[in-house]
Amino acid sequence: NKGEMLQGKVAVVTGSGRGIGRDIALQMAAQGARIVVNDIGASVSGEGKDASPGQQVVSEIIAGGGEAVLSTDSVSDWKAANRIIECAADTFGRIDIVVNNAGILRDRLFFNMSVEEWHAVIDVHLHGTFYVSRAAAPHFKTQNSGAYVHMTSTSGLIGNLGQANYAAAKLGIVGVSRIIAGDMARYKVRSNCISPFAFSRMIGSIPTDTPQQLERVEKLKKLDTAQIAPMAVFLASDAAADVTAQIFAVRGNEIFLMSQPRPVRGLARLEGWTPETILSHALPAMKAD
């Protein structure tokens, strides 16, 4: 029987032609939401345009008795991002949920990364998240309701090789989400992040040179993108009315609440610090942490 956790809601899910975004769109539709499936149909590196993945998701939702419409606008352009939100308002008369999931990868070790590879990833992830969120904000304010769900990554929260662009964007999204939560709390608008562990095209080029690395990839392959969607559905629903400014990691059947930066150790000296006393006193005291 059909869940109705999102009955009457309209959701925009960016990058929902494939992978995690597709599963979120399908599960939100199954929970009663009307969906704008937004996907430009590009490769992982952002090349090419193919509307068919998004169109297939729309058809699947409609075949299941839901309502959906396709948007092929790019999140990385301010005017196009506004069209994505207008598509929801024009088609369904409102907008309740924004899921910022669109992304590309341009993995490269830091010392080899080109300016173009830096900008391409920042444009889609960080600028795209701001543009789509910002375009929806006036609607949310007027309604006095709304929910943002953004995708961050352990690459940003913890670190990964060859992903300076992606990590910067993903950690930037955490900052944007936290401020949205504060700025829009008076309008009953919430903003949260999900950090997914799942095997999708977005995982990047994982080395498989050693048995240990191969084993890790096999483990990752068992983590299904569909396991991320329930958290997105919950965070977007009225049931999560008191959950905001949080980061949840989802790994297979596990859910984690992620910590956010806070001081771990503090030291003070009455006479103030010198570089020498930092070396002799502060550093040894902090090293354990």
Q: Are 173 and 150 in contact (CB under 8 A)?
A: yes
**Coil, helix or strand for 285?**
helix
Calpha distance 153→158 (Å, rounded): 8
Helix (H) or strand (E) holding 286: helix 283-287
Asked if 148 is an active-site residue, the reply is no
Asked if 128 and 43 count as a contact pair (C-beta separation under 8 A), the reply is: no
Pair of tokens at residue 61: 């939702």
From CA 255, how far away is CA 249, in angstroms rounded?
6
Please say whether the dihedral angle defined by the alpha carbons of residues 134, 84, 153 and 125, taken in this order, is positive or negative: negative
And the tokens for 16? 């929902």
* Active-site pick, 131, 148, 166, 187: 166
The residues annotated with a catalytic role in the active site are 166
